[in-house]
Structure 1
Amino acid sequence: MSAPAPTAPSRPARPQILLTVKERVQLTPHLVRIVAGGEGMALIEAREHTDAYSKMLFQQPGTNLTPPYDLDALRAELPAEQLPTTRTYTIRRIDLDAGEVWIEFVVHGDEGLAGPWADTAKPGDPVVLRGIGGGYSPNPDADWHLLGGDESAIPAIASALEAMPAGARGRAFIEVSGHADVLDLVAPAGVEITWLFRGEAAAGTSTVLVDAVRAAEWLPGQVQVFVHGERSAMKALRPYFTDERGVDRTQLSLSPYWAYGRREDRFQAEKREPIGQV
């Protein structure tokens, strides 16, 4: 009788980083910045990646739970709909000297869980992070850069633009609802920022980003690409970069941050299914 196959060790849970809201800043009608800090900053290290992100834990309205959350105990005590929910957000900035992290949220009325939380957050409210990851930073050896995305990618794009050397060249395409959502981003003089307006179309249903990227002049030399946003747009752009333009895969960062009509738990689950492959 053969021995049973060894069980792969489970990945240890990332420690919960407990912070509190220091300030809420309304950047545009649809974008809110939460500045957080506190003793939990001791668990955060400086990162070179400009697409740093974290899993955030949000408690359900009315549950009045106190972080850190003992998730195993809560699963045994509470129905699933009352458990804290995980959402993934890009960290706009980590400032260890100031003891702050900036996290920016897209807000569309009372839709979802994280957006409404950010819309009403006040100093002292808890912020619970589970580790910080990331994988992209501008390559100083690239001849030019191409960046793109919708509102969900603004924090990462803004961080990347700020991190580029003064002589960097490139194009950045950012899809938003309208003119009121335009931000004054810091960027090298040689990087042109184009704001794309989808108007009355719902986020995730417009082709303005795909159309603009495909129509843009393709500059000579080695390009580094960073394009993130809604899943269908990312699916449409991948063959353009890999097949039509022959972008080196080591210089291509392209993946969806969200999918139209999907909550994050379903969106994350679909990454393992054919529909979620980009």
Structure 2
Amino acid sequence: MSFVKARVAHRRSVTSGMVRVTLAGKEIEEFKDSGVADEFVRVFFPDPMTGDLPMPEEDDAGRAVFPEGIKEPHAEYYSIRRIDKAACEIDIDFVVHDGGLASEWAQKAQPGDCIVLGKARFCYEPPEGMAWQVLLADATGLPALSRIAEETPAHIKTIAIVEVAEAAHRQELPVGEHVEMRWLYGSGNGIGPSNLLSNLRALQLPQGEGYIWMAGEMQASRAIRRHIRNELKLTGRNFSVVRYWLDNKEVWRSRWDALDPAVREEIDALWASDRDPDDIADTWHNILETHGL
């Protein structure tokens, strides 16, 4: 089953900046998880006015579709913080912030409320035999980073750098001595420039093959990716940088909509080419930056 409707069992505050919603029910036995620590899922939310939540179907391309005349529900991607198939439970953590249908839903969620989950995807693909890893995230990437850190074997040296709005948003994670947690306060997260890149630059990376994983705001993730590619000279085998959200999204969208058709054709041709995937991604980011995106 590609989509499952899950019911809220309970909700609790992890910190003043994060709320955890536990979903439960026999339907979770049918949920298609990946088993990978940073797995994320498309979540469909009920209409805040009517409470309607239609079930999507899957087309031949794997996309969610709805019958004609049915209003498509609001949907966003969220990390699976914890999954227990035996207990039929899934935890999803939501950043607390003003505005945003998903965050407001989570802050008010009551037992019995429903959401729909798609099948899980993932980005965390470290090389076999890696000796170390560096994990970086802002508040939106913290749930996935936490699960990665908790599930990493003890022989892998891990440095985790997390950027949150304030010290009260820090979480005490059940990690072993092989995991070094570093917390940054008062930067990134829509309140100021990110300090994740400067902290990555300051690291003396361990010997041996390693892996860098980052999740957070688009501009911060792009700067970190550039550093990884141009200065650390790593290939896609040794890193994964994921954009979870975009600051000033409305401005970005207006610039994207105003792109010259020739630039759009250039982008389409780029992704359709058979060039090296790392080179394609590098060129893609360069095009966006050239046009203020």
Structure 2, unaligned stretches of length 5 or more? 58-64, 258-266, 269-283
Aligned counterpart, 2:273 = none
Pairing 1:34–2:21 present: yes
Q: Which letter maps to 2:24?
A: G
Give the AA of the match of 2:142: I
Give the secondary-structure state (helix, strand or coil) at the position aligned to 2:216. Answer: strand
Greater mean deviation of Cα atoms: 233-242 or 60-69 = 60-69
Compute the displacement of 1:170 (Å).
2.4
2:185 matches 1:194: no
Distance 2:7 2:70 in 1: 26
2:56 is equivalent to residue 56 of structure 1: no
Cα offsets for 1:13-61 (capped at 9, x unmatched): x832111001101001111111101132121245331111111111331
Instruction: Say if 1:100 and 1:90 are closer, same or farther in 2 by CA, change over 3 A.
Output: same
> Are the equivalent residues in 2 in contact too, given 1:151–1:176 (CA < 8 A)?
yes
Q: 1:96 aligns with which of 85, 101, 106?
A: 85
Q: Distance in 1 between matches of 2:39 and 2:2?
A: 17
Match status 1:210 vs 2:204? no
Q: Relative to structure 1, is the Cα distance of residues 61 and 45 closer, same or farther in structure 2, using a 3 angstrom cutoff?
A: closer
The one of 122, 127, 132 equivalent to 1:144 is: 132
Q: Does 2:85 match 1:72?
A: no
Distance 1:131 1:48, change over 3 A: closer
TM-score scaled by length of structure 2? 0.79
Contact between 1:169 and 1:188, CA under 8 Å: does it hold in 2? no
Other-structure match for 1:275: 288
Q: What amino acid is aligned across from residue 66 of structure 2 in structure 1?
A: D
Asked if the contact 1:18–1:67 (Cα under 8 Å) also holds between the matched residues in 2, the reply is no
CA distance in 1, matches of 2:53, 2:164: 36
Give the TM-score of the pair, scaled to structure 1.
0.83
> Cα 1:260–1:204, aligned 2, differ >3 Å: closer, same or farther?
farther
| Map of 1:117 onto structure 2 | 105
- 1:196-246, CA deviations, whole angstroms, 9 ceiling, x for partnerless residues? 0126x7526322112111112222221111111000001111121122112
How far apart are the structure 2 equivalents of 1:77 and 1:165? 46
Distance 2:70 2:157 in 1: 55
Could you tell me which of 221, 243, 248 is aligned with 2:208? 221
SS of the aligned residue for 1:131 comes to: coil
Q: Aligned in 2, Cα 1:170/1:202: closer, same or farther, shift over 3 Å? A: closer
Equivalent residue of 1:76, what SS?
A: coil
CA distance in 2, matches of 1:18, 1:257: 24
Q: 1:248 aligned to 2:235?
A: yes
Unaligned runs of 5+ residues in structure 1 are: 1-13
Counterparts of 1:95 and 1:257, CA distance in 2: 24
Equivalent pair of 2:41/2:80 in contact (CA under 8 Å): yes
Instruction: Using the TM superposition, name which of 123-132 and 202-211 deviates more.
Output: 202-211
- The counterpart of 1:165, out of the listed 153, 159, 179, is 153
3-state SS in 1 of match to 2:154:
coil
Shift of 1:190: 2.2
- The one-letter amino acid of 2:107's match is D
Q: Would you say the 8 A contact 2:217–2:243 is kept in 1? A: yes
Q: 1:79-90 alignment to 2 at 5 Å?
A: 83-90=72-79
Q: Distance in 2 between matches of 1:137 and 1:25?
A: 31
Give the alignment partner of residue 105 of structure 1, picking from 67, 79, 94: 94
CA contact (8 A) 1:197 1:208 kept: no
Q: What root-mean-square deviation, in Å, do the aligned CA atoms of Structure 1 and Structure 2 show?
A: 2.8
